[in-house]
Amino acid sequence: MKTQIEQDGIVTLTDETHNQLSGSDLWNEDLRPTTMKEHSWKGVNFATLWIGMCLCIPAYTMASGMMTLGMNWWQAIGTIFLGNVIVLIPILLNSHAGTKFGIPYPVFARLWFGDKGAHIPALARAIVAAGWFGINTWIGTEAIDTLLSASFSSWNGLAGHTAIVFALFWLLNVGVAYKGPQAIKVLGAIAAPVIGISAIILFIWAYTNSGGWGPILSTPSKFTSTREFLAVFFPALTGVIAFWATLALNIPDFCRYARSQKSQMVAQTFSLPLTMSIFSFIGIAVTSATIVIFGEAIWDPVALVAKFPPFIIFLGTIVIVLSSLTINVGANIVAPARAIENLNPKKITFAMGALVTGIFAILLQPWYIMSNFGNYIFGWLGTYGALLGPIDGIAIADYWLVRRRQMALKDLYEVNGRYSYSTGFNKNGIYALVIGVAIPVLGLLIPGLRFLWDNAWTFGLFISIIVYTYLMRGDKSVLAPGEYEEITLKTSEKPIIDSQTADPTITK
């Protein structure tokens, strides 16, 4: 029986199968597969998405931390570019699954962990996203606090003024997300040009007012040997990779709306590494100019904004707040809210998930994570990179090596389907995750194996790929030869009737 239709490389459910599954406990309007009508995102939508997310303060200041550790400007930019090219590979590999089958990340995880086991990678991603939500909320808080301090002399004398701003900005973020994940498309369309133009204006201002590039671009590296450089390079590279390792997992949340594989691949390939590298260079160049203009290196754009007249502070704060709000709603609320919703699709709504995410973000104490660069890149980025690398590897191994891009879409939504496995958990996925995390952790315990931890994301990725592929040999959940063709109607013609008309939503 044909249960799915493949048209131009995109698979959707037949109308009959769609209607049959609508009553399943694993099904709701947010988690169901997208319809052909909903595959409407063009390449420009993905480019705008990445540009809007990359133009954020953590990206602006990333190179500064590496230079503080001893790198010169081109070593820092090179590390950032290389890290983003590396993480782009799993992003594109997982994008293919989202584009072809129209499924969000929690449903994709059912494929390799089981319908119950999927909560493990989904909630792991959710915890990281909640942490980032707190970080960006804290960054926006500092910007607003700076504006109020510059505009009202009595503001700094108000007890708990920063906490008040944090609470209000937290409510704004959760409030926007509460309305639904589609908000990211509107915010991205506004934020990308506004923040991009603002960055260019800041760059021009810095160059013209300093009479050149400033001293930082001529400052040599502090490393006297290759060994000294590599001791900093590899942890920094892992930090860069980990920065977007979150999106490498739940990129299907966006690509499930892609019009074609080519459009999303080309757009993502150019927009991610180039935007991150260029924006980081702007951060370095502007900071270099501040030494000439103000007599000190100002890496923090919030502190830099405070040096200007009140009206410029007002405009700068709007840009910073818009940046923090955009990346929060898109990258840091939708994914965990969807993961929480997946715990009980029939009872938990996306709005409830967004609220829980916001509360958990506070518990992670973002002010501590951002208190110094060591907490940020070695503690925060390094630690969750060690967790997400193996999950990335399992996802890639399952889709590309074990199943070879073929699956029964309807079984992802059946409680007793083939992807429920025997107990709702795919033990092979759990074993591969534990091994993929445990081996890099040895680098924390054994000094001679420190390189394992310094490259935890990379080692975890490849270890889990090897282990998972080996354990899944001959697994019953894999479609038998010819079975995909038996359940799939392949056509190049658009369906004459499409009863699946639910409005598209956007996830991340």
3-class SS of residue 11: strand
Rounded to whole angstroms, the Cα distance separating 190 from 335 reads 21
Is position 500 within any domain? no
Q: What is the pLDDT of residue 139?
A: 79
212 φψ region: left (φ > 0), alpha (ψ -120 to 50), beta (else): left
Q: Tokens in use for 401?
A: 């090596």
Strands (E), 292-352: none
Query: What's residue 53's pLDDT?
Result: 85
Position 80 scores a pLDDT of 96
CA–CA dist 343, 179 (Å, integer) = 20
**Cα–Cα distances in angstroms (integers) from residue 435 to residues 64, 203, 432, in the given order:** 34, 46, 5
Task: Read off the amino acid at residue 474.
Answer: G
**Would residue 498 count as lying in a domain?**
no
pLDDT at 372: 60
Supply the pTM of this predicted model: 0.88
State the burial class of residue 371 (Cβ atoms within 10 Å of its Cβ: 0-12, 13-18, 19+): exposed
pLDDT score, position 57:
81
Q: What is the CATH number of the domain that holds 349?
A: 1.10.4160.10
**Structural Rg of the chain based on CA atoms:** 23
Q: What is the pLDDT of residues 161-207, one digit of tens each?
A: 999 999 999 998 888 777 765 666 677 778 888 989 999 999 999 99
Low-confidence ranges of the chain (pLDDT < 70): 180-185, 369-382, 492-508
Task: Return the residue matching tokens 């890496």.
Answer: 299
Is-contact 399 468, C-beta < 8 A?
no
Residue 47: inside a domain: yes
Q: Which structural domain, as residue segments, surrounds residue 78?
A: 4-491
Q: How many domains does the chain have?
A: 1
Kindly report the number of other CB atoms within 10 A of residue 155's CB atom.
Answer: 16
**pLDDT per residue as tens digits for the range 468-498:** 999 999 999 999 999 999 999 998 644 444 4
Could you say which DSSP state residue 318 is in?
H
pLDDT at 362: 85
